[in-house]
Amino acid sequence: MAVPTPPPAPAAVAPEAAPRARAMEGEKAIARVLRAGAVLGGGCFAASLALELLPQSARTGIAIDDLRKAGASLLIVTPVARIAIAGALLGMKGELRYLLYGAAILALLGIALGAGFSA
């Protein structure tokens, strides 16, 4: 008498990998803005440090001070520009809620800046 053999087990099917999400063009634009702000701000600070090596004069001191102010300003403005770009890009995609959030944040920053200047 022959012993029945069990049917072969089905081959294990590997789960399908989720398709890789393509980077949005907006993310690339935001990355460029952040990178440019960091590089330009850092470049201003590096240039001011290089000017420290020159003989001290009034003109050199003013240039050093101006470069440091420009570098600090670029580093402060870069995240604000990121919020503006992200809000605009999301608004163009129909995400009006996030556009309003970005606009509200920028308005609050403007109010705080105005309050700081008047104090």
Predicted confidence band at 107 (pLDDT cuts at 50, 70, 90)?
very high
State mean pLDDT over 6-30. 67
- Return the percentage of the chain with pLDDT > 70, whole number: 84
Q: What is the pLDDT of residue 15?
A: 63
17: pLDDT strictly greater than 60: no
| Residue 86 burial (C-beta neighbours within 10 Å; 0-12, 13-18, 19+) | buried
The pLDDT score that the predictor gives to residue 7 is: 77
pTM (whole model) above 0.75: no
In this predicted structure, the answer to whether residue 68 has a pLDDT above a threshold of 70 is: yes
Token representation of residue 57:
């004069």
